[in-house]
Amino acid sequence: MAVVRKTRYSAADIQVLEGLEPVRKRPAMYIGGVDASGYHHLLWEILDNSVDEVINGYAARIEVTLHKDGKTVTVTDDGRGIPVDVMPKYKKPALEVILTTLHSGGKFEQGNYIHSGGLHGVGASVVNALSSSLIVRVKRDGKHHVQTYAKGFATSKLKTEGKARGTGTTVTFTPDAEIFGVKAKFDPELIRDRLEAKSYLHRGMIVVFREETRSPAREETYQHDGGIAEYLAKVVTQRGKNTVPAAQKVPPPAASEPIATTEEGLPEAELTAQGGEIPSVPPVAAMQIPAGALFYKQSEGDFRLEIALVWTEATDEHLRSYVNGIPTPNGGTHEAGLRSGIVKAVRNYIETHGLGPKGVTLTAEDIREGICGILSSYVVDPQFQGQTKGRLNNPETTAQVEGVVRPALEKWLNDTKTVAEPIIARIILAARAREASRAAAQQVTRKTAVSHRLNLPGKLADCASTNPQESELFIVEGDSAGGSAKQGRDRRTQAILPLRGKVLNAEQASTEKIGQNKELQDIVSALGCGIGEDFKAANLRYGKIFLLMDADSDGHHISTLLLTFFYRHMRELIRNGSVFIAQPPLYKIEVGKDTYWALDDADRARILKDHAKGNAKPNIMRFKGLGEMTADELKSTTLDPKRRLALRVTIPEEAALDTERTINDLLGKDVSARFKFIMERAGEVKELDV
């Protein structure tokens, strides 16, 4: 429908959105969007209110129920219960004011909550505004109170329904389909992961998850007295990278506990007098983190802090941070303080003991490479970036975290030299690998689109355009296919790079071997953006990179090897959405005068069912490779932007860990991981292409 532009603009055109109307008008401002993330954010808001009761010592148990429809959820806690007495100023119960008024709540003054995730007084009211139905039950003052809501308004008066034992709050709500769509549902696995993480962060808290979408219904209880030390063991296990020093093959003795320091650096046995026991890692989890390899630090007072970290053999840094129990995936000042504290502590240790390597300068990234850590901090007046609270912005927190971490970590390194020595060796190895990577990158780096014709691979059939926004590179398997692609391409915007030799497995090969591999050198030269630390997205010569391989197992294998190379050495290309997998047809099907193209056997069966009817006898041709296709066929099915099919390669944030683990298992040096993968899935294979 066309929008009619007004010719007159006056006071009559000014709107004032009342009550919770702004939330329904612009929900993304409050929950980040109306996608799956925003949908689940409604649950996180209610859940975090219950967790705030636990953090401040008023509750110990939280129950979450996902009902049969998958769209309705109930959160129950045994906290104090939301106040229900009437607020004289508004002449309404406090419960109703909280749920129907933005910026209302009991967390603005520090007397009610010392630490809390809720700050702005908008969480519960936003959930009400974006729910088609919301029911609140409060147990307080020996009575059971109930009130119903919908789309931001109270739909009933506050009622008292008999007597009640204990205290607490129960919230049942269904997100509004008008806002999120009729197909939106809660993801049980996502809820389960969030609840289990909460149970790790708050030792002693009991979290129950009931999943009624299953038949029969399933109930799980989470309680982790080991806290974030136990959580870290789980994360290390999931990432599948060994610790430094290496993990033991058998569980350590039950008495073994992580080496830790207290606020004053006292031994663990004296910590009870300082305000709590250091958690020990359960024996099963401890198989991944040997006794002594885990650094743990707990600080009490106005600024509470809990940190657990370990160095691993991974090539990246993995930190999970939380503020008052709220995950901060975008980091912030608390993470900056942790990183600074780690780097300064390690540098001081190296300088004190004269362990600095010759000819190599250690960078902060070298020191933090391989670190896997969890930081849980409690800030009295946190300043989050936006209502979704993905980043902490308190400037004073950086110095506070660094002031706790730096001296404790430095003391830990000095007290446990058997652990410190392999860590320092691992850091030096990272620095040398970085230098080697830089040298290798310099050998294969080529000019950018500005110097378009210099030092490009001889077999590259380049395009005429120097504008990366419209230029495309097709990496093609084989010379014969490359010939057809060169003839069928749009010479102005499409470049063709045939692959002749074997593609190296970048997961197993050293950086030096990658720099010497002719095929990978040609790819890096053609792209012009460098690799590793020298990668510069601004120098990329092509906006889209297509992997065009045969539609068989060999072609899939080559695509996998190239994707592994991009993932390990040019990951920004994937993150930026620049890498695609072309989808050439496997079959050509002629039915009468009509021609159809099938991607695979299933597609072939569908086409035959739909079009090969009556006396029509289809002529089916299976392509053994791209080289069997004519230039026109390749153009019409695979190269032409108006008619082609292609898969964009992405790494969703929630799948980053699974991606890392899968590539390491299937392409890494550990044969046992691949053997296990094959044996577990052998029964699923119906046809094997060898």
Write the pLDDT tens digit of every residue in 588-599.
999 888 889 998
pLDDT at position 228 is 93
pLDDT per residue as tens digits for the range 277-301: 345 444 434 445 777 789 999 987 7
- Whether residue 532 is found in the same domain as residue 399: no
Q: Is residue 601 part of a domain?
A: no
Report d(CA 499, CA 494) in Å as an integer. 16
- Residue 203 structural domain: 21-222
Is the pLDDT at 332 greater than 50? The verdict is yes
Q: CATH code at 173?
A: 3.30.565.10
- C-alpha 612, offset from chain centre: 46
Looking at the structure, do residues 90 and 118 belong to the same domain, yes or no?
yes
Active site (annotated) includes residue 552: yes
Is 70 exceeded by the pLDDT of residue 455? no
Instruction: Note whether 184 and 242 are same-domain residues.
Output: no
Whether 607 is in a domain gets the answer no
- Catalytic residue check, 550: yes
Residue with tokens 């009870």: 272
Q: Are residues 501 and 631 in the same domain?
A: yes
* Residues 491 and 354 reside in one and the same domain: no
Q: Would 200 be classed as within a structural domain?
A: yes
pLDDT at 206: 96
| Amino acid occupying residue 651 | I
Same domain, 191 and 284: no
Judge if 421 and 541 occupy the same domain. no
Residue 623 scores a pLDDT above 60 = yes
Is 3 inside a domain boundary?
A: no
Q: Does residue 274 lie within any of the structural domains?
A: no
Annotated catalytic residue within 552, 590, 628, 665: 552
* Whether residue 535 sits in one domain with residue 472: yes
**Is pLDDT at 229 greater than 80 in this prediction?**
yes
Q: Is-catalytic flag, 477?
A: yes
Q: Integer distance in angstroms from the first to the last C-alpha of the chain?
A: 55
Which of 282, 278, 271 minimizes the C-alpha distance to 230? 282
644 & 660 share domain: no
Task: Choose the catalytic residue: 477, 519, 522, 660.
Answer: 477
In the residue annotation, 632 being an active-site residue is answered as no
Q: Is residue 463 part of a domain?
A: yes
Domain annotation covers residue 207: yes
Q: Which of 141, 351, 396, 554 is catalytic?
A: 554
Structure tokens at 452: 């378009």
Rounded mean pLDDT of the chain?
Answer: 83
Shortest CA distance to 240 belongs to which of 562, 507, 423? 507
Domain check: are 326 and 416 in the same one?
yes
Model pLDDT for residues 350-368, shown as the tens digit of each residue: 999 999 888 888 999 999 9
The set of residues, in sequence order, having a beta carbon less than 8 Å from that of 151 and lying 6+ positions away, is 24, 128, 129, 131, 132, 176
CATH number, residue 370 = 3.30.230.10
pLDDT band with cut points at 50, 70 and 90 for residue 441: low
Q: What percent of the chain has pLDDT over 70?
A: 84
How sure is the predictor about 18, in pLDDT bands with cuts at 50, 70 and 90? low
Q: Residue 46: which of 135, 114, 110, 111 has the closest Cα?
A: 135
Determine the pLDDT at residue 35: 92
CATH of the domain at 464: 3.40.50.670
pLDDT digits (tens, 9 = 90+) for 543-597: 999 999 887 778 888 999 999 999 888 989 998 999 999 999 989 999 888 889 9
**Are the C-beta atoms of residues 536 and 573 closer than 8 Å to each other?**
no
- Percent of the chain scoring above 90 in pLDDT: 46
Number of domains in the chain: 4
Which residues, in sequence order, are bridge partners of residue 295?
Answer: 309
Provide the token pair at 604: 């072939």
Shared-domain flag, residues 211 and 292: no
Return the sign of the alpha-carbon dihedral for residues 361, 365, 371, 373: positive
Which candidate in 306, 550, 633, 660 is catalytic?
Answer: 550
| Domain presence at residue 615 | no
Residue 500 has pLDDT above 80, yes or no: no
**pLDDT of 240 over the 60 cut:** yes
The vertex-623 CA angle with 621 and 625, nearest 5°, equals 170
Residue 311 shares a structural domain with residue 434:
yes
Quote the pTM value: 0.57
Collapse the DSSP code of 4 into the 3-class scheme (helix H, G, I; strand E, B; otherwise coil) and give the result.
coil
Q: Which of 390, 417, 438 is the last residue of a domain?
A: 438
